[in-house]
Structures are given as structure tokens and as C-alpha cells.
Amino acid sequence: MDRLRAFMRARRLAYRTEETYCRWIRDYIRFHNMERPEDLGAEQIDNWLCHLACNRSVSINTQKTALNAVVFLYRQFLRREIGQLSFTRANKGRKLPVVFSHDEAMRVLSLLTGQSWLAASLMYGAGLRIMEAVRLRIGDLDFGESSLTVNEAKGSKARRVLLPRSLVNPLQNQIDMVLALNRQDRIKGFGSIYMPGVKSSNSTHSSPGLLYLFPADRPAFCPQLQVTRRHHIREQQVRRAVARAIIKADVKKAASCHTFRHSFATQLLAAGTDIRKIQELLGHSNVKTTMIYTHVIGTHTEETHSPLDNHIQ
């Protein structure tokens, strides 16, 4: 595993990808009673993937991630072809996303404070994923065009999205705080800024636009570049705050941070926004992914009534 991690870091894989792949590869090895992967092949990979689908009931995307991990292990690291696979694919059916009503979303937001409130407001107001929100940098904001650019997005697919006018003043106050904090960091010697793809651990960018919009409470050690610097806040910090707010708001739904993004899409669709425009704002590669929100809204209207209510005058 140490050699595998070193191999991943030499190829500049994202740290999150590194952690995910290593976790699934360990799971694969343990499933086969700690046998060396070099002694296993397509049949053993099939058995493990079938186990994930049939016994552990993982989702389709989770099984795909697990498959990507072992494919990387064999093809990239071990330089071996794994042959034809014939595993049982996970299939849990279509599940409609949970969404907030506008009233519910505002109730939850009203119970948040500080950076958690601002990050959640961007998830609802701009349709951001939680990691896209916490990874925003000052330079991603364009107040003149009332837009923001999501550069560190899922799949490295940058896009421009809406910048809610109601967040302009809070965002400007946040920027002032970030700049003041960075000045203090530079005095203490850990003011360098992380940039994806930059290999130098001593890189100290001077542009304030590269500073994270949501800085962490304290500096941390970067295991990839062996340097101490201030990163962005962890998404778990926002997740926990939102989870507490949902309970306090008495929302009886299986909601989470991602519910804000779903709610953004359904609110736009209900207002008559073109589905292709919503696809672009959400950063979906295929419009079929965006079409799921048409099922959330449904085809019923105020003029359609249940037959059970026909007797009601």
C-alpha cells in the first residue's frame, strides 16, 4: 500500500481519489483473505464486485468506483491486463431526490451561522455541491457579472453559475476576513496556497484571488507536498452544522447538504427554466441526469384532484 500511494502521488491523483482507491483496494484484498493481488485475476474481481452488489447492496455508482480502483491497481500500478469481467451489476432502481420547499430551505438556513451559513446559501442559491462550495477561491467570484466560476468541480468540468444578489455583501465581508487572515499567516510563515498540479512545496502565490473563500480554522500539514499551510474548511464541518439545523427546523425529510442542490434545480424547473440551462448550471454531462427533476415536480397541477376528494365542495 505504501508503494501504491507513492505511485498515485507521482501521478498527481487528487488526495480524495487516493484515499478512495486505497480504501477499495484494501477491501478487495481483505475479501480474498489477504492474498496478493498479483495472484488474483478476473474471476476474483468478479466475485468481489458481485459480493458488493448482492451482499452489501451498494449503489451503481459505488460499485463503479470500486471497479475503477481495482482497474487502476492492475492496469496502472501492476501493469497487468485483467481480461473480460462478467460480474453482477448493482441495480437499486430509480430513487427520486429529496428536495426542500423554499420555506423549509430558508428555515434551515436561518439556523446556520458563519461559514456554514454562507456555504449552504451558495449550495441553495447557486446549485453547488458541497465540495464545490468549500473549494471556492476569491478569484472565482465575479460581482460585476453576478456569477461565479466553479473551477474545482466534479470531473474537473469548470462551469459558470449564478451568484445570488442577496449574498454580495456577505461574500465581500468574507473576502475581507480571508485577506486579513492570510496576512497573519504570512507573518507566521505558512501563507503558501495550494494549487492543483503544482509540485513545489515552497510555492507561495501572491495573488489574493487564489485564496480559499472558506479557510480552515487552523493550518494543517499537507501529506502530498510535506508542507504546512491553511487549506479550506472540511466538508464534514458544514455537513454536521446542516444536519443539526435540519433537526432544529423540524424538517421531517431525509435531507442533507445535497438537498440544497436538488432544491435549486427543482425551484428553477418549476419556474419554467429550460432544462438545458439547468443542466449547464448543475454541470451535468448528460441531460438525462437533469431530467430526474421533472419526476420530482411531477405532471399534476392545481386543477387536478384526487377522486377521493370529489365529494368535497
Is 258 a known active-site residue?
A: yes
Same domain, 65 and 115: no
138-141 long-range contacts (CB < 8 A, ≥24 apart) are: 138/175, 138/178, 138/179, 138/208, 138/209, 138/210, 138/211, 138/212, 138/213, 139/207, 139/208, 139/209, 139/210, 140/213, 141/171, 141/175, 141/213
What pLDDT, on the 0 to 100 scale, is given for residue 205? 54
Q: Is 89 among the domain residues?
A: no
Same domain, 68 and 193: no
What pLDDT, on the 0 to 100 scale, is given for residue 289? 87
Residues 266, 100: Cα–Cα separation, whole Å: 9
What is the overall mean pLDDT for the chain? 88
Domain that holds residue 206: 94-313
Is 284 a known active-site residue?
A: yes
One of 229, 230, 261, 262 is an active-site residue; which one? 261
Same domain, 175 and 228: yes
Is 160 a known active-site residue?
A: no
pLDDT band at 308 (very low <50, low <70, confident <90, very high): low
> In the block, which residue shows the cell 473563500?
213
Same domain, 112 and 218: yes
Helix (H, G, I), strand (E, B), or coil: what is residue 270?
helix
Q: Which residues of 48-79 are buried (b: 16+ CB within 10 A; e: fewer)?
A: bbbbbbeeeebeeebbebbbebbebbbeebee
109 pLDDT above the threshold of 90: yes
What pLDDT, on the 0 to 100 scale, is given for residue 136? 95
One of 74, 129, 229, 230 is an active-site residue; which one? 129
Same domain, 125 and 187: yes
Across-strand partners of 137? 212
Is 137 a known active-site residue?
A: no
pTM of the model: 0.78
One of 154, 183, 277, 295 is an active-site residue; which one? 154
**135 CB contacts (<8 Å, ≥6 apart)?**
152, 212, 232
Q: Is 246 among the domain residues?
A: yes
Q: Which three cell numbers stand for residue 288?
A: 438525462
Q: Which three cell numbers stand for residue 106?
A: 430558508
What pLDDT, on the 0 to 100 scale, is given for residue 197? 55
**Cα–Cα distance list, 263 to 20, 39, 52, 293 (Å):** 28, 48, 31, 9
Among residues 257, 299, 9, the alpha carbon closest in space to that of 119 is found at: 257
Is 154 a known active-site residue?
A: yes
pLDDT band at 90 (very low <50, low <70, confident <90, very high): confident
Q: Is 88 among the domain residues?
A: no
Express each pLDDT in 44-72 by its tens digit: 999 999 999 888 988 888 999 999 999 99
Backbone angles phi, psi at 50, to 5 degrees: -65, -40
